[in-house]
Every structure is written in C-alpha cells, then in structure tokens.
Structure 1
C-alpha cells in the first residue's frame, strides 16, 4: 500500500496506536502516569504558558500595525476567497464552537461565586472580566500566530501545507522537519479528542436532563461514534460543500439562541455589563496575563483554569491556525491578525455577557444559590429551564453542540489529511477516512480515562492530558515565531 510508504503517516499512526492500546489495556495505570506528569509540567512550566500567551498577543499586534501588515497572502491583486461573514463563521466554528456552549453559564457563575482575587469591582463584572481573559485575545493569538506563519508559507512563498514547510529554509535537516510535523499532528489529535470528549459528555448531560435519565459511558461512546461518522461525511465532501455549510448553520443557530436569551432577559443590564467588563479587561489585560501582584489568583486556581485553557488553545492552534490560513487567501496579514484577534473575541465577550449576566439575575431571583449551575455538562440546560420554550431551547442546544463538534472534527480531519498527503490543499479521501477512524479510537481512549475513577470525569482527564501534550508544541512555537520574524526581516531587505 502507498500509505505504508508515507513515513510521516506511519510514525503518527504508530504513536497514536501505542497510546490507544496503552489506555485500553492499562487504563488506571495510564491515568496515574498522566496525573504525575501533569503535576510536574504545572510546577515547572505553568507560568511559561502565561508569559507565552501575553507575548503572542503583543507580537501579533506589533506585526499587524507594522509595514509587514501590508503583506498579502497571495498575489498583490488577489481578493479574499471568502466573504467576511463566511470567513468569520468558519474560523469561529472551528476555533471555539462547542466550548462556548459548555462554559456559557457554568464559568461566569463559578467566577462570581469564587472570585479569582480581591477586587473593587462587583463580583459580576470581575467574573465576566476573568471569563473574557480566558476566552479572548490570548486564545486567538495562539491561533493567529499559526495562521500567519502557515498562511505566509502557503500563499506568499507557495509552499506545502506543512508546519515544517514554514521553517525548511532555516532547518535543512529532513529528520528534524519530519519530527516537527509528527509533533504537530499528535498535538492536534489530542486537542481535538479533548473537545469531542467534553462535547459528547455535555450532549449526554443535556439528554439526561431533558429525559430525566441516567445514561452513562455507553451513551457517550454512541454519541462519539455518531458525531465522528457525520464529520467524516462532511470532510469527505470537502471544504466548500460540507464544512462551509455546517459552519454557517452553526453560527445562525448560535446567534438565534443568544438573541432569544438576550431579548427575554434584562437587555440594558447585559449591554452595560458587556461594555464595562470589556473595558476593564483591556485595562487589566497585562497584569492579569502576568498574574502580577493583586491580580494573582494563586497556583491552584491557575492550574484548574488558566494553565488548562492555555494548554487547550495551544493544542488547538495547529489545526485551527492551519484551517484559518487555508481560508484566508487574499487577505493581508493586517486583516488576518486584527480580524482573528478582535472579531471572535468581541463575539465571545457578548456571548458570555448575555448568558453570564442572565444567570446572575436568575440566581438573584432565587434568593439563594446551591450549586445549580456547578455541573459543567448540564449547567446550560438547567439555566434554559428558566425561559419560555425550555424544552425546544434544550433540543436546539443539543443540535448546536452536534453541529459545532462535527465542524471541529471535519476541519481537523481535513487539516490532518493535508499534512499526511504531502501537504496537498485537497487531500485524498482515503487519508480523510483513516484520520476519522484514528480520531474516533483516540476519543474512546480519552473517555475511558475520564471514567477510570468515580471521583474524576472527562474534564479532569482532559486538563491533565493537555497540559502534558501541549508543552513540546509550546516550546516549538517560540522557535517558530523567531524563525518567522527572521524570515520576514530577511525578505524585506
């Protein structure tokens, strides 16, 4: 078979199969190893993640506002392949998707009930500000850096869709370049299976809430197989036929859900909270990003939240960044970077303002709070019970979760296939089939890890796994950014 003559594909498959078999055969021992390793990474590299995030935000802003921002991804007279609306819908669906449904209520309420640090701000505004911090500029800076580097290599330098192609002029060693591509593939797979595991568990939580049932792991595994199958069919159809259509449907559905909650809640309070929390976030961005002085929430809080989020965004950076690069032909670096940093961030801020502020008002109307929104997998469904047409809204949320997961999976399958099919922009369908199966098996392994002990869940397993698997890639991204700047400076002489 030709596939067996592809060293990049064979090496990546081999590593993933070893992980899958290890977890399938020695689930509890595997979890113990992952737990110990995650503590080590947190203790020695936790703050490195923080500083890296701030550094990338400042770097991308500097490049966007510099003369380099005028560089076009493509020919000088090329126009963007996709409209601003379609481009934003696709990058948002691939980059955030199901996550904003998972955390829409649970995270702002947690921050309100457990303020990360002492502040003169009201608990509600502080909760929104810190939620914005974890979903805002930094997350999109990780994606944007990758999109910029790959987009420049792909459309300005006419290179193949591989991470190694962006640095091949500086690193001539074939083995080193293949190692970088393998690392990128493995990081991508782990970031993706984390999202699928969390998303399918939330769908299961929603179904349990609606039908007053107690479906467990078997139900989650069935949902995982279903979503993987739909995603494969979408990836099989290709970028314009499958992924683009589902992305637009996702965004429209999400906007309708948000608009319904917005107009049936205190709209003036939501708008006020959005503007005030956004302004405060911008003012406090640097000290929050450094966990400096009074803005330091402590190691335990950072580990459970910020370090985990930064590891998650890093794990998603390869496939999301490459996907964004793939759809950004015809745009300048300035349009790409400012668009990626600002548009989805503001959309996310308004989303959390709507659901967070509305949840605060629901709690206030109850008069007391007993953790009704504390379960990350059911909090949104519990919240929607306080609104008209609750059952219809809950079913709509489940459909949105499915749509977002399908978009994330098919985007990743497409990107992974481009990697292993010699960097082709439209990879062969047998690669798409192979990656769909591998992603499904890897997700099942993660779900087993998340159910190995009664006191943990999938979120716990994801937090521990990602902080380990993201570290090599985080270190590499520093090198990649330096080499990219060196290449730009050299080209501009």
Structure 2
C-alpha cells in the first residue's frame, strides 16, 4: 500500500503544480523573418523553376514520387491507421471531459455554423471533383485483387473504398492537429503556432528555437502545396464546366491559368475580410447551394437505387476496413503499387498536407467545446455528410451507368472501358451526369452553372483559411495576420497551382497526375511530424488538472475501501470526509509493535461536516468502527 500512497502523493503534487501554474505570457509580435524568408524563398524558387522549365519540373516530380512510393508508401498506410485509433482513444478516455478553453467558456460559434465552416474548409472542393468519378471508376475497375468490375460486388467495393478514402481516416488527421492547437492555445495560453504543440517534448525551444521554426516552415510548405493541388483540381473542373455548357470547345492551359488567377483574387479578398465575415458567410452559403444541388440529383436521379446504396456502402466499409487499411505494395504486383500511388497514398498525403491549415482552422472555430464534443463532431458529422454526398452523386452515377448498360444504350453511359481501363474525364464527369438527368435542357444548364459556382465557393472557403494560417505561422502565431502576409501566401498558392498545371501540359490527365505527384512528395516529412504530435498531445492531456483530479479521486477511494476492509476484518464501515488543512505524514503504531507510515491526501475544497457520512455500508452512523 505504500507504493500506492507514494504514487498518489506524486499525482497530488502534479495537480497542485498544475493549479498554481499560470499561463506563460509569450511576447511574440511581428513577422518571424526566418520562417517567412525561408518558406517564401522555397516557394518562389519552385514557382520560377516551374515557369522556366515546366517539363523539367514534371520529370523531377515523377522521379521523386517513384522514390517516395517505393520506400515510404508503407509509412503513409500505417500512419493513417495510427491517427484514426489515436483520435478515437483520446475521445473515449477521461480526456474527453476536458474543455478546449477555460472551464466556464461557451462555444464561440453556433453548431450549424461550426459544422458548415468545418466541412467546407476540410474537403469541399475534393467532394465536388471526385464525388461522381471515384465511385464510378471503382465500380468499373475495382482495386486490383478484389472483385470483378461492373457487378453487384463491384458496387459494394466501390462505395466502401470511396468511404475509406473520405470519411474516418482523413478527419482523424484533422482532429489531431485541431485538438493539439485548440488545447494548447485556449486552455494553456500558448501562441497559435504549429510548433507550440510540441512544447511537452521540446520545451520552449518549440516556440523560440530553430526546431520550432523548422516545424513551422514544413507546415507552411505542406499547406502551400496541398492548397495548390486543390486549386488546380478546382480550375480543371471549372474548365470542364465551361466545356460542358458549350461556352468553349476546349479549355487549354492558358484558360486554366486565367481561372486560377480569378479564384486566387476571390479567396485572397475573402481571407482579408477575416473568419467572422467572409469565411463564415461563404461557408453557410455554400452549404445551402450544396444541399440544393444534392436534392435535385437525388430526386431527378435513380432515387430508389441511391437509397439502397447507403446501407450497402456502410456495410462494405465496415466489412472491408481491415483489408483496405492494411493494403500496401506488398499486397500484390506492380498493379497494386500503381493503384496505391494514384489513390490511397495520394489521399493520405493530400490529407496530411491539409492538416496544418484545416486543423488550425477548426481549432480556431472550436473554442469552448469539450474534447469529446470536438472529436465526435469532427469525425462523425462530416463523415455522415460525405456518405450522403457520395451515395447521391457516386451512387446515382453508378445507377445511371447500370441502367444504360442493361439497355445497351452507349450514348447514355457515363463511361466506357478503353484498353482495359475506365475512360473517365474527372473534369467533365459531374456535368455529364447532370446532363443525363430527366430534366429540361435549360434546367440542365442551370444545374451546371450552379455546380461551377459551388466549386468556386468551395475552393475559396478552403484556400482563404489556408492563406490566413500560413500568414499566422509566418507572424509568430498572430490571430489576425497582416494583409500583406495573407496576400503574399494567397498569390503564392495560385502561382504554385499554375506551375503544377503547366508542368502537366494541355493533357488534363497529365496535369492531374502532376498535381498528385508533388502533393505526395511534399507531404512526406510532415507524416513524421504528425506522429510526433500524437506523443506531445498525450503528454499534455495526461497533466491536465481535470485528469489528475479524477485519478487522485479514484486512487484514494480504492485505497480507503481497501483499508476499511483490512482494518474492520470484513465488517461494516462508512467513509466520511473532513477538511485537512495540510498534507502531513503520521507515524502509527500497530499491535505487533511495528511502525507504519500513513499519508493523508487533501481532497475537499470546502469544509465538510465530520458527523455526516457520505456513504454507508453496514453499521449505522455512530458505530465506533469507521475509517
């Protein structure tokens, strides 16, 4: 029992220190010119290189991708599972009661605004780009070594694989960064720097030293390329919408650069206006537009088929999860490795590259919520919406494809198998599906225009928050970075996207591969940073006063009951509380003459009535046998 008492004393000491500890006041103002200078120089060098020799940039990106996939693809696969398990465990433990702020704080934003901003920022542009094409692609060509394409089994595999890429795993990555930032900033008073989350491991060097600067530079670079990839995808799909509506016969790289320039100007303007004005308003507007478009497709498409897809997708995701989460290049031949680099590893790298700005952004809008509320909301709410989105758009596309295949109507089919692979143009597939809905021609055109508007606003809501976060990391965690910093990083994001598209040439497929390749390569160092972050968060939460109080209470209660049973030889006894002004150790004699040491622990913060038992078992109050 002495061992147990000693551990309680140590915990009480930690609790006392935690309650007495005052948040440090970090005097961090102005631009960190080392972080801004190095990250900015790397971005400018990449942009200049891409404009001078786009072919050379594409060649180097391909070679770098081959090395990353061959040597580190396994790391992305393992890390994604670690992040998902870690987020769930943190929410399930007693950590879940800890508020992201002071004990009496209320949430800053309403639940509806919180969800809409979180969802639109997290992956809105990707859902619109891949919402139709990915499930249809997997239906026609399932992952190697699974099932035969264009069958009922292929439908289940397609939906399960899509949900694997878009629901629990990516949002767990966002939750980890958001949790670390919100807890450190709002509860402990640390600056809103990515590196500040590593204070439990590196101490104040994480904020003031070069180790912290390196982490912040990596966060800026990952954010820059992840945002540029999204901007490139948005530009490609808007170009597809222009073609689908007949405004232009073909959209080349020059037009795509103009689209990027327009989008860049829009999201920079939104970012300068701040979260409370521009981003919140755009996020709420976009959710309304997304719901309208989804309802029209749900009602006008194969409604019954879509409803059947939803439970099928959930069951397939749960049933195939172990296989999907463990699939690596060792699972098969070269076809498996190629498939992973194009899909799963690309997605994990894309989500990792988005974690700095999405995580920091959802941290800023989640102040006042408990950890359990935060993790539950971040994991379940967007995942549910994503399920419905892919069921409506992807499931609807598969339903249209199946119906056309049974009727032998090739003109109504959304895709064909060419040279053993689906011929799907992801830029156009959304608009092709909208064109197949049984509505009037002018309604179809209106839907396409609505989709283009949705794409543009989805990107703006994501990219403007990325610009704000990069600006904040450049300015020592400033809550409201200066306009010049936000504008610089916004323009840099647009320029990097343009360079990446130019490196792919006029071929959309090549341009898309170029975007994917550079995203995967840039995210590699950040995977290691994210794994280290899990250790830092666990160390922080383990020392929170709420956790320590709970631990002390549980240990003292167990020890008190154990002493009562031993002293009273199995007879009845009751437990009472009374105020002990100091923590003291007393030497107590026993019947056999030995001396033992017993330590009392201060539990009550208010004086208690020593005559009133808090719990009874056995004898009535007043019985002389009490502990």
Q: 2:273 aligns with which of 199, 222, 237?
A: 237
Please give the alpha-carbon distance, in whole angstroms, between the structure 2 residues aligned to 1:12 and 1:89.
Answer: 31
Residues 231-287 of structure 1 deviation map (CA, whole Å, 9 limit, x = unaligned): 111111111110000001111101110111111233332122112211321233233
What's the CA shift for 1:294?
Answer: 12
What's the CA shift for 1:454?
Answer: 4.9
- Secondary structure at 1:330 match in 2: coil
- Secondary structure at 1:167 match in 2: helix
Residues 196-227 of structure 1 deviation map (CA, whole Å, 9 limit, x = unaligned): 01111110111012115112111111111111
Please give the alpha-carbon distance, in whole angstroms, between the structure 1 residues aligned to 2:402 and 2:321.
Answer: 29
TM-score scaled by length of structure 2: 0.75
Name the residue aligned to 2:587: none
Please give the alpha-carbon distance, in whole angstroms, between the structure 2 residues aligned to 1:245 and 1:471.
Answer: 34
Question: Do residues 323 (structure 1) and 361 (structure 2) align?
Answer: yes
What's the CA shift for 1:455?
Answer: 8.5
Please give the alpha-carbon distance, in whole angstroms, between the structure 2 residues aligned to 1:283 and 1:331.
Answer: 33
Question: Do residues 182 (structure 1) and 232 (structure 2) align?
Answer: no
Please give the alpha-carbon distance, in whole angstroms, between the structure 2 residues aligned to 1:36 and 1:438.
Answer: 24
Question: Do residues 439 (structure 1) and 467 (structure 2) align?
Answer: no
Q: Residue 3 and residue 161 in structure 1: after superposition, are their counterparts in 2 closer, same or farther (change >3 A)?
A: closer
Residues 76-100 of structure 1 deviation map (CA, whole Å, 9 limit, x = unaligned): 1211111111111001111111111
CA contact (8 A) 2:329 2:336 kept: no
Name the residue aligned to 1:255: 291
Equivalenced residue count is 491
Please give the alpha-carbon distance, in whole angstroms, between the structure 2 residues aligned to 1:220 and 1:432.
Answer: 23
What's the CA shift for 1:24?
Answer: 1.6
Matched ranges for 1:304-343 at <5 A: 304-343=342-381
- Secondary structure at 1:321 match in 2: helix
- Secondary structure at 1:161 match in 2: coil
Q: Residue 292 and residue 311 in structure 1: after superposition, are their counterparts in 2 closer, same or farther (change >3 A)?
A: closer
Q: Residue 83 and residue 229 in structure 1: after superposition, are their counterparts in 2 closer, same or farther (change >3 A)?
A: same
Q: Residue 170 and residue 357 in structure 1: after superposition, are their counterparts in 2 closer, same or farther (change >3 A)?
A: closer
CA contact (8 A) 1:3 1:9 kept: no
Q: Residue 254 and residue 360 in structure 1: after superposition, are their counterparts in 2 closer, same or farther (change >3 A)?
A: same
CA contact (8 A) 1:288 1:295 kept: no
- Structure 1 residue runs of 5 or longer lacking an equivalent are none
- Secondary structure at 2:479 match in 1: coil
What's the CA shift for 1:398?
Answer: 0.3
CA contact (8 A) 1:261 1:354 kept: yes
Q: Residue 285 and residue 295 in structure 1: after superposition, are their counterparts in 2 closer, same or farther (change >3 A)?
A: farther
Please give the alpha-carbon distance, in whole angstroms, between the structure 2 residues aligned to 1:303 and 1:465.
Answer: 12
Question: Do residues 355 (structure 1) and 393 (structure 2) align?
Answer: yes
Question: Do residues 52 (structure 1) and 79 (structure 2) align?
Answer: yes
CA contact (8 A) 1:261 1:355 kept: yes
Of residues 32-41 and 431-440 in structure 1, the stretch that sits farther from structure 2 once superposed is: 431-440
Residues 14-51 of structure 1 deviation map (CA, whole Å, 9 limit, x = unaligned): 11111111112222122111111110100111121111
Name the residue aligned to 2:11: none
Matched ranges for 1:44-83 at <5 A: 44-83=71-110
CA contact (8 A) 2:261 2:494 kept: yes
Name the residue aligned to 2:318: 282
Matched ranges for 1:164-179 at <5 A: 164-172=195-203, 173=205, 174-179=209-214
Name the residue aligned to 2:309: 273
Indicate the structure (1 or 2) with the bigger Cα radius of gyration: 2
Name the residue aligned to 1:221: 257
Name the residue aligned to 1:409: 463
Of residues 425-434 and 243-252 in structure 1, the stretch that sits farther from structure 2 once superposed is: 425-434
Q: Residue 208 and residue 55 in structure 1: after superposition, are their counterparts in 2 closer, same or farther (change >3 A)?
A: same
- Secondary structure at 1:251 match in 2: helix
CA contact (8 A) 2:434 2:448 kept: yes
Q: 1:468 aligns with which of 512, 521, 525?
A: 521
- Secondary structure at 1:100 match in 2: helix
Name the residue aligned to 2:43: 16
Q: Residue 5 and residue 411 in structure 1: after superposition, are their counterparts in 2 closer, same or farther (change >3 A)?
A: closer
Residues 296-346 of structure 1 deviation map (CA, whole Å, 9 limit, x = unaligned): 782221111101111111111110010010100011111111111111011
Q: Which has the higher contact order (CA 8 A, sep 6+)?
A: 1
Please give the alpha-carbon distance, in whole angstroms, between the structure 2 residues aligned to 1:260 and 1:454.
Answer: 32
Q: 1:375 aligns with which of 425, 440, 465?
A: 425
Please give the alpha-carbon distance, in whole angstroms, between the structure 1 residues aligned to 2:200 and 2:383.
Answer: 34
Name the residue aligned to 2:24: none
Please give the alpha-carbon distance, in whole angstroms, between the structure 1 residues aligned to 2:39 and 2:132.
Answer: 37
- Secondary structure at 1:401 match in 2: helix
Please give the alpha-carbon distance, in whole angstroms, between the structure 2 residues aligned to 1:5 and 1:263.
Answer: 53
Please give the alpha-carbon distance, in whole angstroms, between the structure 2 residues aligned to 1:34 and 1:153.
Answer: 36
TM-score scaled by length of structure 1: 0.95
Q: Residue 115 and residue 295 in structure 1: after superposition, are their counterparts in 2 closer, same or farther (change >3 A)?
A: farther
Please give the alpha-carbon distance, in whole angstroms, between the structure 1 residues aligned to 2:161 and 2:507.
Answer: 30
What's the CA shift for 1:293?
Answer: 12
